[in-house]
Amino acid sequence: ILNVEQSPQSLHVQEGDSTNFTCSFPSSNFYALHWYRWETAKSPEALFVMTLNGDEKKKGRISATLNTKEGYSYLYIKGSQPEDSATYLCAFTSGTYKYIFGTGTRLKVLA
């Protein structure tokens, strides 16, 4: 059974703080790792699709790294803002269309 773990489950940070969270996935049969940002009552929004070991992607204050050999990805948010409050999901794919999701990290940024 393929398992994707995310940690922490939730965290609260102060506005302006930087934060990061982890997604762990199977290191075998890796094809892609997806990060999504999911606000309540909205559709999950795609942040990054990562495919290459050592990949690093950036979108504004958010960046992500990928280590396929050890099976983890980090998502970083620099200078957190209240609007960054959301659940951050990662999903692993092994070459098929099937996405295997983690349970998400719920981030609350306090003003």
Tell which one of 24, 47, 75, 104 touches other proteins (CB under 8 A): 104
State the DSSP string of 64-80. EEEETTTTEEEEEESS-
Nearer Cβ to other proteins (50/91): 91
Compute, in degrees rounded to 10, the torsion defined by CA atoms 93, 31, 52, 5. 30
Smallest distance, other proteins to C-beta of residue 25, A: 12
Residue 4 dihedral angles phi and psi, to the nearest 5°:
-120, 125
Nearer Cβ to other proteins (68/87): 87
Question: Looking only at residues 45 through 64 of this chain, which bind other proteins when binding is defined by CB under 8 A?
Answer: 46, 49
Question: Looking only at residues 66 through 95 of this chain, which bind other proteins when binding is defined by CB under 8 A?
Answer: 89, 91
